[in-house]
Structure 1
Amino acid sequence: MDEFDTPIRLRPDGSIDTAYYIARSRELRSRQALDMAAEAGRTPGRLTRLLGRVLTLTRIARA
């Protein structure tokens, strides 16, 4: 299994360090959201459309 350039991060007991990967994924998603918002802010009207889609998706997810 030498498919990855970086080794998988393990905990002292030998299991995969899921807390590390969860924190890492949250940080990456946060950066992507900030980049999207910054890009949308540069285009008139795009930010309001983006926010409208997000609000619609959250309403659907709650149902």
Structure 2
Amino acid sequence: MAVEKDSPTWRAVKAHCEAGIEAARVQLETQGAIEAAQYQRGRIKALREILALADTRPPIESSTRLY
């Protein structure tokens, strides 16, 4: 999947994910329950995976032509 990093849509998604990561990080630091901490860690991981979509490049496909 190719992501256009300069598109307004991607900038909005990126801003939303970064805000979500920061909010989850704050909650992670203030909550003491293990279950809540695991939930916040999972949320941060999921948001980072979304942000990583901009770094992945589609594979280059080569084709062998037989003449």
TM-score by length of 1: 0.45
Normalising to structure 2: TM-score of the pair?
Answer: 0.42
Higher relative contact order structure (alpha carbons within 8 Å, sequence separation ≥ 6)? 2
